Structure formats: structure tokens, C-alpha cells
């Protein structure tokens, strides 16, 4: 008997040994699996999710496996991240979702950006000395806009999903109500933010134990108040949030703590379904986020500027290519400072900014042998600093639907405040307004006006959730956090795929750069060769290299019947899951 068992084991091993290389051979020859790039994407046939946090990624994958479409999965991930990744996942913030619904051959951009209170004005953060009070702008209730996430997710599911809102919230509710195992990254984030979050009684109750200590990795972490809020939304829909008891709690908290948001403001919140801003690049079609995000417009502007350059022959991240990137970024961000804002308040010249003739003209101003000074490109004031804490996820399903979603509280954990009993953090998104708007200068520049705070206005964003199409089907879904750097991160990721033909894992991993016109400084991630840096120096570029990372993408490519996905090696605890 023993001998027979031994023989069986040997047989199984031999069979496995002979079968495995054949399977590997098949996988290896998948059409777009290009191992020359040195990085390997996740592969699936039935759909894919790529998310910054693993538990929420599993929620999205389960929804797809249960037969939900990409939009159902996208909304479920949005609610799940509000529980499992409270630094940026949220129901107290807002964002943007680009959706492609295959059966309708329709692509839409959902704007669920936060909105300022009706009583807000451009100078609410300006102190007696005429300076910005950063405490007010970033860490007070005055920095909070009416949250848009609940309205945005609800619209997406109701119009483009197949499941009910309650069904897509259910996994998040379970995670909040029953708890999940504290994971190391969240434990460390909460420990790092303990002073700030611990100073707010409701946030302290939500995120720390009764004795004030942090939950340790592996311990069960429940969020009862958040579970109650999610249950109210499951039962009563978005009205629970905007006109019901959640709105009452938020308005009472604002009134008691110097905030401006009233019940009327909560009720006045509108989610917009917008036409995506559309562009093209060498046969690919780009659908991305229009204003009030500046992301889509300026990414397309940069791609237009470079469409007629043979960057591939110049080389990826060569000095010549990086020079063109920097000069394109310099121009795009100069224009952005003048023209990007809420289209309901300011006439953003989208068509002009994404016009190919305009792009050719500004491209022709780039000298190939030297860096320009930023003041040569547009002499105007600089931009205020923006936070880096946002999160992006991408989903595709087998029917050809796609979701590219970026949302945020602005700073990690928003302003660190929470209305008692709600269990969710408040955003500090209104810091994205320009706080020192000024009248047109001698050159007619009107920087700041476009993005000055007014009642019920949305602050300019940089979020760039994007879907690139090839032959009419979503080919690439991508996006990133990173405040003002988002546009450049998404731009380079897209260029890596469509111009340099990298697989999506390589495209996500290569070193990136960032220039935002003012200050005249390029950030260059480590990994760009010293030779290249030396040439950039000779050309007059000013940069810091190897000091920080830029962005954190979650991307999916569909090609020839396979989904290929990758989360960024720059992010901890992210997951990309392929459905078989």
C-alpha cells in the first residue's frame, strides 16, 4: 500500500513536472506579455481590479465574480476603501469617476467633487496681516466642502450598474460592523496621525481604543458609527446623507465648531454627469476628466504637444525625452494656473487648451538645446501647495465596461475632524482653492480668479482618472494620487504604454519626473542615469533627483482577450486581482 502511495506521488510529480512547463510556455507567449520590459503584470481573462488596498480590492473582485459589472465593483470598492483605507478612502470627501458602459457604447465623467458652503468667500482663510492662515485652510472645519462621494457612487450604480446601492455598500457595512484585521500599514498610519486624530473626540473614538492606544496588526478593528452611517445609506439611499440624520449631524458639528456647512448646503449638493474631455494620440482615443479637474485637459495638452515627436527613437527617459517632458509640463502648468477652475463659475477654455494647432504652436516654442526659465513661459504668480493623499482604482469587466476612479479627502485623513456619531472623516478639499486671488495684472493675467473660493463652488483638482481606447474598446484604465503631481504621473504612465509600448507593470514602475512651472524645479525619481542628469544640467535644467517618489498608479490594460494589471511598486498594501 505504502509502495503504491509512493508510486502515485511520483506519478503526480512527474505529471505535474511535464504539464507545468507547457502551461508556462502558453502563458509566456501571451500576445502582450512582454518580459523584455523586466516587470510582469497580473493577468486575467474575466475582468480585473487594481486598488490601493487589498481588502477593498477583494471586495471588488468578489462583486465581479458574483456577476456584477465594473461599475458595481467600482462603487463597492469606493465604499469599502472608506472603511479599510480611511486615509484617503471616504464618504466624507469627493472625486471623479470616468465610466465606459459597453452596452450603450457610452463614456461619461462623474463629477462628485466637494462643493463649498453657500456662505464661503475667497478670503475666509486670510488673517489680519493679509496672509493665509494655514490652520484654517487645512485643519479647520472651514476647509471642508460638502462631500460628494455618496452622491457620486449612487449615481454610478443607479445609472450604469446592475446591482442596487444597498448591495454594493453591503461588503463595506460588514467590514465596518464586524471589523477586519488591522494591517501594518494602517496601524502605522494611525499611529503617525495619532496627535492630530486624537485631538478630535469623534475621530479618537473611531480610530483608537478606549485607552487611546492604537489597534495592533492582527487585532479586529470595528467602526460602529461608520457602520451605522453606511446602514442608513443602504436603507434610505443618498437622502440619508444629504437631507437626513447624517446631514443633521454634519450641520450641527459645523455650527458648533466654526464650520460653514448647513443643512441647506448639504441638500444643495449636486453630482454632475459630464462629457469626458476627449483627445487622441497616435490612433488611441483618450477619455479623461474635464473641469473642475484640471487633470484631463492638461494631460491631453501635453500629449498633443508631443504627438509629432518620435520619442521612441529619442529613448525612454533619455535627456532629450525628459527635456521635452519638462518643457511641456512647464507650459501646461502655466496655462493651468490661469485657466483651471469650476466651469460653473469660470469659462475654462477647454477647446483651446486641447486644440492640436495650439499644441503645435506651443511645442514649436520649445528649444531643443536648452531649458527655458519658467518666467519665459508665463510671468505670473505661483500655485499653492497641494496634498499628496488621494487614491485611485481601476476596474474592467469581461463585457468591456471600465471604471477609472480617483477620490480623496485631500490630505491623508482629511482635516482629521469627524462629526460625532457619523464615523467618517471630513475632507479639507477647500484648500485646493487659490486663497489669494488678485485682479488682472499688467499683462492681463488673471491667476487665482478662476480658482478663488465662492459659495457653492468646486475647487480645481488635479485628479486624472483616464480611460484610453483602442479600436473602440477600453484599452487602458489608469490614474493616481499625488496632488498637483497627478497629471504628470498619469501622463507618463500613459506615454509608457502608448508611445513606448511597455507592458502595464513596466509602465507603472519606471522612474517619473514632475515639473509644475512654478517653482522652476523638476523632481526626478531615482533610477534616471547620472549621464542623463548631467546632460539635463548642461541644458540648464534645475532639478532634485532621488529625494522622493511621485504618485501611485493602479492600472489595467485589455488586449486580445486578456486583462493585464499592475499596482504601483511605490505603494504599500495595494492589490491587483484578475478574474479567471
Q: Does 408 bind ligand GLY (CB under 6 A)?
A: yes
**Would you state the cell numbers that stand for residue 270, as one nine-digit string?**
449636486
**242 Cβ contact list (under 8 Å, min separation 6):** 150, 151, 266, 267, 269
Q: Out of 92, 483, 511, 551, name the contact with ligand GLY by CB under 6 A.
A: 483
Q: Please give the angle made by the CA atoms of 140, 144 and 149, to the nearest 5 degrees.
A: 145
51 vs 430, which CB is nearer to ligand GLY?
A: 430
Distance, C-alpha 184 to centroid of its chain: 22
* Minimum CB distance to ligand GLY, residue 412 (Å): 11
**Would you state the cell numbers that stand for residue 289, as one nine-digit string?**
476628466
Instruction: Give the integer Cα–Cα distance in Å for 117 and 250.
Output: 12
Instruction: Report CA torsion sign: 551, 564, 150, 62.
Output: negative
Cβ-proximal residue to ligand GLY, closest one: 461
Q: 10 Å Cβ neighbour count for 508?
A: 32
Q: Out of 410, 485, 493, 532, name the contact with ligand GLY by CB under 6 A.
A: 410
Q: Out of 394, 447, 462, 488, name the contact with ligand GLY by CB under 6 A.
A: 462
Q: Out of 144, 415, 461, 489, name the contact with ligand GLY by CB under 6 A.
A: 461
Of residues 41, 16, 46, 38, the one with CA closest to residue 27: 41
Q: Out of 262, 387, 453, 516, name the contact with ligand GLY by CB under 6 A.
A: 387
Q: Which stretch binds ligand GLY (CB under 6 A): 53-61, 344-352, 457-465, 518-526?
A: 457-465
350 vs 486, which CB is nearer to ligand GLY?
A: 486
Residue pair 53/573 in contact (Cβ under 8 Å)? The answer is yes
Query: Is 390 known to be catalytic?
Result: yes
Q: Does 114 bind ligand GLY (CB under 6 A)?
A: no
259 vs 296, which CB is nearer to ligand GLY?
A: 296
Residue pair 431/460 in contact (Cβ under 8 Å)? The answer is no
Q: What is the dihedral of CA 529, 533, 539, 542, to 10 degrees?
A: 150
366 vs 425, which CB is nearer to ligand GLY?
A: 425
143 vs 496, which CB is nearer to ligand GLY?
A: 143
Q: Which stretch binds ligand GLY (CB under 6 A): 149-157, 247-255, 434-442, 460-468?
A: 460-468
Laid out side by side, the sheet with 575-579 consists of 272-274, 106-112, 94-101, 402-408, 390-397, 47-51, 575-579
Between 424 and 453, how does the x/- string for binding to ligand GLY read (CB under 6 A)? -----x--x---------------------
Q: Which stretch binds ligand GLY (CB under 6 A): 2-10, 384-392, 500-508, 564-572?
A: 384-392
* Minimum CB distance to ligand GLY, residue 288 (Å): 14
Residue among 54, 144, 321, 390 flagged as catalytic:
390
Q: Residue 559: helix, strand or coil by DSSP?
A: strand
Q: Which residues are catalytic?
A: 390
**Interface with ligand GLY (CB under 6 A):** 386-387, 390, 408, 410, 429, 432, 461-463, 483, 486
Amino acid at each position: 500500500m505504502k509502495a503504491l502511495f509512493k508510486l502515485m506521488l511520483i506519478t503526480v510529480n512527474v505529471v505535474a513536472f511535464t504539464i507545468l512547463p507547457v502551461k508556462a510556455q502558453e502563458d509566456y507567449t501571451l500576445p502582450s506579455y512582454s518580459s523584455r520590459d523586466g516587470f510582469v503584470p497580473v493577468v486575467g481573462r474575466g475582468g480585473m481590479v487594481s486598488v490601493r488596498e487589498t481588502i477593498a480590492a477583494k471586495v471588488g473582485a468578489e462583486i465581479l465574480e458574483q456577476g456584477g459589472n465594473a461599475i458595481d465593483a467600482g462603487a463597492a470598492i469606493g465604499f469599502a476603501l472608506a472603511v479599510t483605507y480611511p486615509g484617503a478612502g471616504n464618504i466624507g470627501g469627493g472625486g471623479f469617476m470616468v465610466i465606459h458602459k459597453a452596452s450603450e457604447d457610452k463614456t461619461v465623467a462623474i463629477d462628485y467633487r466637494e462643493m463649498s458652503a453657500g456662505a464661503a468667500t475667497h478670503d475666509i482663510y486670510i488673517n489680519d496681516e493679509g496672509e493665509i492662515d494655514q490652520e484654517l485652510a487645512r485643519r479647520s472645519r472651514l476647509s471642508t466642502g460638502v462631500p460628494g462621494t455618496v452622491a457620486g457612487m449612487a449615481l454610478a450604480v443607479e445609472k450604469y450598474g446592475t446591482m442596487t446601492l444597498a448591495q454594493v455598500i453591503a461588503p463595506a457595512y460588514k467590514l465596518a460592523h464586524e471589523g477586519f484585521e488591522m494591517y501594518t500599514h494602517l496601524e502605522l498610519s494611525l499611529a503617525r496621525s495619532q496627535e492630530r486624530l486624537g485631538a478630535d473626540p469623534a475621530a479618537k473614538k473611531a480610530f483608537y481604543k478606549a485607552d487611546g492606544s492604537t489597534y495592533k496588526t492582527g487585532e479586529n478593528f470595528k467602526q460602529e458609527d461608520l457602520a451605522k452611517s453606511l446602514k442608513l445609506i443602504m436603507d434610505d439611499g443618498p437622502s440619508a446623507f444629504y437631507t437626513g440624520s447624517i446631514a443633521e449631524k454634519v450641520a450641527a458639528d459645523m455650527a458648533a465648531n466654526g464650520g460653514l456647512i448647513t443643512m441647506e448646503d448639504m441638500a444643495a449638493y449636486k453630482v454632475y454627469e459630464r462629457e469626458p474631455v476627449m483627445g487622441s494620440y497616435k490612433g488611441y482615443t483618450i477619455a479623461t476628466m474635464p473641469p473642475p479637474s484640471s487633470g484631463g485637459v492638461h494631460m491631453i495638452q501635453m500629449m498633443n504637444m508631443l504627438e509629432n515627436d518620435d520619442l521612441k527613437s529619442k529613448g525612454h527617459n533619455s535627456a532629450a525625452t525628459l527635456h521635452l517632458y519638462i518643457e511641456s509640463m512647464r507650459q501646461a502648468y502655466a496655462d493651468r494656473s490661469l485657466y483651471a477652475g469650476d466651469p460653473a463659475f469660470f469659462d475654462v477654455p477647454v477647446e483651446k487648451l486641447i486644440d492640436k494647432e495650439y499644441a503645435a504652436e506651443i511645442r514649436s516654442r520649445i528649444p531643443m538645446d536648452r531649458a527655458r526659465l519658467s518666467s519665459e513661459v508665463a510671468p505670473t504668480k505661483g500655485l499653492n501647495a497641494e496634498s499628496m493623499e488621494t487614491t485611485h482604482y481601476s476596474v474592467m469587466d469581461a463585457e468591456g465596461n471600465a471604471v477609472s476612479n480617483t477620490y480623496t479627502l485631500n490630505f491623508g485623513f482629511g482635516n482629521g475632524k469627524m462629526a460625532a456619531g457619523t464615523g467618517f472623516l471630513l475632507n479639507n478639499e477647500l484648500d485646493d482653492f487659490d486663497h489669494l486671488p488678485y485682479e488682472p495684472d499688467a499683462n492681463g493675467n488673471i491667476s487665482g480668479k478662476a480658482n478663488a473660493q465662492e459659495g457653492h463652488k468646486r475647487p480645481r483638482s488635479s485628479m486624472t482618472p483616464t480611460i484610453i481606447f483602442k479600436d473602440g474598446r477600453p484599452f487602458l484604465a489608469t490614474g493616481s494620487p499625488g496632488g498637483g503631481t497627478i497629471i504628470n504621473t498619469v501622463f507618463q504612465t500613459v506615454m509608457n504604454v502608448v508611445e513606448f509600448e511597455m507592458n502595464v507593470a513596466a509602465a507603472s514602475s519606471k522612474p517619473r519626473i514632475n515639473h509644475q512651472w512654478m517653482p522652476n524645479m523638476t523632481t526626478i525619481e531615482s533610477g534616471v542615469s547620472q549621464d542623463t542628469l548631467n546632460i539635463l544640467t548642461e541644458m540648464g535644467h534645475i532639478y532634485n533627483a532621488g529625494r522622493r517618489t511621485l504618485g501611485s498608479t493602479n492600472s489595467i490594460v485589455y488586449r486580445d482577450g486578456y486583462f493585464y494589471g499592475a499596482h504601483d511598486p511605490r505603494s504599500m498594501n495595494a492589490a491587483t486581482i484578475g478574474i479567471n
